[in-house]
Amino acid sequence: MTDPLIRPIEPRDHDAWRDLFTAYGVFYETEFSPAVLDGVWAWLMDAAHDVSALVAESVGPVRRLVGFAHLRRLHDTFTAGPAWSLDDLYVIPEHRGEGIARSLIAACSATAHAAGGGTLRWITASDNTTAQRLYDTVATRTGWVTYEKET
């Protein structure tokens, strides 16, 4: 595959994004309800919302979305400046290993830089060693341990 086009998500991407996000949920053994899918889509279409998305579109005669990254702007109390969370990153299985995830991460970094910089952070499952091999080449693995509590 030729390098994909990395671009901001657009309204015309709804159905393809929904399929990709659903597949991302399956990868993490999560089934997203229609309300969640609709809610996240509404965030992505609201330019004033802190969550945005970049998509990877294949080039060539048949163009289709092959991946996405959700990016969220935060406020960093250690710097009193911006920070960023790469909340979700997904590439369809048949296009993994082609540099698409690396391109999406680079585009997220460039987007954050253009909007004021700050630290870009993301998490992955401890057993997702394939992703970690890439992440170890593009960022610094931290010593932070993540906890979560439903409220």
Q: Supply the CATH number for residue 126's domain.
A: 3.40.630.30
Full domain range(s) for residue 26:
5-138
For residue 109, tell me if it sits in a domain: yes
Q: Is residue 149 part of a domain?
A: no
Q: How far apart are CA 67 and CA 57, in angstroms?
A: 7
Q: Is residue 146 part of a domain?
A: no
Q: Is residue 143 part of a domain?
A: no
pLDDT for residue 39? 98
Is the entire prediction scored with pTM above 0.85? yes
Domain count, the chain: 1
Ordered per-residue pLDDT tens for the chain, 151 residues: 567 899 999 999 999 999 999 999 999 999 999 999 999 999 999 999 999 999 999 987 888 999 999 999 999 999 999 999 999 999 999 999 999 999 999 999 999 999 999 999 999 999 999 999 999 999 999 999 899 999 9
Q: Judge whether 52 lies within some domain.
A: yes
Using a CB cutoff of 8 Å and minimum separation of 24, what contacts does 8-14 make? 8/52, 8/53, 8/54, 8/55, 9/44, 9/52, 9/53, 9/54, 9/55, 9/68, 11/45, 13/55, 13/65, 14/41
